[in-house]
Structure 1
């Protein structure tokens, strides 16, 4: 039992030294102040575009509306063609 008490006292002493060191650092060390300049690009200062949320499954108790037909068009000449992986270029 005396060795357990000595161990607990030694651990408490080490913890006390740690807290004393932290307290001494907060009292004795002055971090100082300096000016910081942050450059913000002009495009970030302009009006923000609305955020487009990802498509999500929405459930509601309202009746479903008629489906909207989706139209697709052929790629224009300006768009780059899709290259399949492993296909010769």
Structure 2
């Protein structure tokens, strides 16, 4: 399995409604894209103050390398990016095998 971690910093003008729409699109990925096993969405609540402006995270689990390679060019991923990119100030993407 592969974990796909996104740390997200939204633009100041990104609305809560837009962010909720994006969350819904991410959460539908396991139903729409073969090889995406699960998606978790989270909002930072650490009291340490070390998030450097990153406020949200997405943790996706892919079945294997084939699942990741299926997701990256998938039309559903492209549709998600159309909603995501205008809201995005910065992002960290980190993948690892488990």
- TM-score, normalised by the number of residues in structure 2: 0.21
Instruction: Point out which structure has higher relative CO (alpha carbons under 8 A, 6+ apart).
Output: 2
Q: Report the structure, 1 or 2, having the larger strand content.
A: 2
- TM-score, normalised by the number of residues in structure 1: 0.23
Computing the radius of gyration from Cα coordinates, the structure with the larger value is 1
